[in-house]
Chains A and B, each alone.
Chain A
Amino acid sequence: MSVFKSSGIGIAGIACAVPKNNVPVESFTSAFGEEAIRNFTSVTGIKSTYKALPEQTASDLAVVAAQELFSRINVAKSEIGAMFLVTQSPDYRRPSSASVVQLRLGLPIDCSCMEINLGCSGFVYGLQTAMAMMSASDYKYGLLLLGETATKLVDPMDKSIVMMYGDAGAAILLERQEDVKTTTLLRSDGSRYKAIILPAGGFRDMAPDHERFICSDGIERSLYDIFMDGTSVFSFSISDIPEAINDYLKITETAVSDYNAFVFHQANQFIIKQLIKKMKLPKDQVPLALDRYGNTGGISIPLTLCDAYGDKCGEKLKSLICGFGIGLSWGVANIEVDTDNLYPIIQTDDYYKEGKLIPGQY
């Protein structure tokens, strides 16, 4: 089984950032009608999201989150040995946005930097990867960043998704902490790679026609728009996910009562309610942030932690986290974090103006 253990590495702090531009679902009333909006909110629980400016990228949001983290915690950047950026919305086809972020954060050349291409499972995968790198070295800090601007990939008339995605960034500082033990279970099923997909613009089909066609869910899209097979993804979420969590509890010889927070990827409220029912979880220990932020992909777990516990003092969270989605890819882990180290979510319009290259400039 794909189970990983690490010890002696803990979370020093988590900061998150969203764009300033708030988009209430009611703003889609003229496009889809009142009833469709009401139905959407009653199933998904989403009432509004934050949408990045056209110039603002995932790495911009991750950088702002990281700067917030550095303003809260005094860290010598020379002591950060590795940085990971989890995103599926890179600034360029190449190089990876991790290079740009390294420059902007002033991380030293003696810091390994790389991008991880994952979506909703990205926090769990990224955390395990960052911990494994730290375990194999002796540097003091590791930095895990996540950024996503999925709103830019949606056809504006796609009522199944356009109100669902929200943009966000997160920054997690890892440090050496005695007595912290983490177990992570990671799974992936490539046979379902088409369940959530955006086909155009990759190297299989770099510049196909923009012709629109009716997809299997009856909604019109082009190959340039993100597609989600909602029924299959739902089936995955309420069967494979509880199964993975149950396997995780068995492997770690723990029970629901050993945790005081269950922080799930904020896919939609209906899915989270099913998980609560099926796993018999205490409802008040399963925080929701999607009503105000939407589905923010891999950022949703750190964002929900900061949203639900960012204003609490001195509480020790023993949380079970679970990320799941595109790939399909999913993971379960435990994290222990002091609520004092979860910072309130900030809003930003910042973007990297020098990042936009003009012909003749390079």
Chain B
Amino acid sequence: MTNQEKLALIEETLELDEGTLTPETILEDLDKYDSMAKLSLIVMFDDEFGKKVEGAEIKAFETVNDIMALMEK
């Protein structure tokens, strides 16, 4: 999966417009990054990568890049 594809998938998961995110985007700066968004990320990792992401890992995310780093099958 290319970085562009990863960004697109995160945007889709967080219900953001295409091109909103860069790897450097700070998650806390996004209005949409609420508890529901975190649950949606858990589902995305489960559906797309078959990966179980723990609450602590989600809490440790600071930038979009942190999410992308986990997006490997």
Q: A residues near B, CB below 8 A?
A: 39, 43, 160, 195, 216-217, 229-235, 238-239, 270, 274, 278
Closest A-B pairs by Cβ, 3 of them: A232-B55, A231-B55, A239-B52
B: contact size bracket: 10 to 19
Is the beta-carbon distance between A43 and B53 smaller than 8 angstroms? no
Among A216, A229, A238, the residue within 8 A (CB) of B43 is A238
Q: Assess A238 versus B42: contact at CB under 8 Å? Given A216-B59, A231-B55.
A: yes
The answer to whether A231 and B59 have CB atoms under 8 Å apart is yes
A239 touches B59 (CB 8 A): no
A and B contact pairs by CB, cutoff 8 A, 12 listed: A43-B36, A43-B39, A217-B35, A230-B55, A231-B35, A231-B38, A232-B56, A235-B53, A235-B55, A238-B42, A238-B46, A239-B52
Question: A-B contact count, CB below 8 Å?
Answer: 38
A interface: dominant SS? helix
Q: How would you classify the secondary structure of chain B's contact residues: helix, strand, loop or mixed?
A: helix
- Distance in angstroms between the alpha carbons of A239 and B57 in the assembled complex: 15
CB of A231 within 8 A of CB of B42, answer yes
Whether A229 lies near B55 (C-beta < 8 A) is: yes
Q: Which residues of B contact A216 (CB under 8 A)?
A: 59
- Is B70 an interface position by the 8 A CB rule? no
B39 x A270 contact (CB < 8 A): yes
- CB of B54 within 8 Å of the partner chain: yes
- Check B16 for interface membership: any CB of A closer than 8 A: no
Name the CB-closest residue of B to A240: B52
Instruction: Give the nearest-CB partner of A274 in chain B.
Output: B43
- Which chain B residues border A233 with CB–CB below 8 Å? 55
Inter-chain CA distance A229–B38, complex, in Å, is: 12
Residue contact B42 to A234, C-beta cutoff 8 Å:
yes
What separation, in Å, do the CA atoms of A235 and B40 have in the docked complex?
10
B58 at the A/B interface (Cβ < 8 Å)?
yes
Question: Is B36 a contact partner of A39 (Cβ separation < 8 A)?
Answer: yes
Q: Could you say which residues of chain A place their CB within 8 Å of the CB of B43? A: 238, 274
Q: Which residues of A contact B54 (CB under 8 A)?
A: 232, 235
Least CB distance from B46 to A in Å reads: 6
Bound: A234/B36 CA distance, A: 11
- Nearest residue (CB) in A for B39 is A234
> Which chain B residue lies CB-closest to A216?
B59
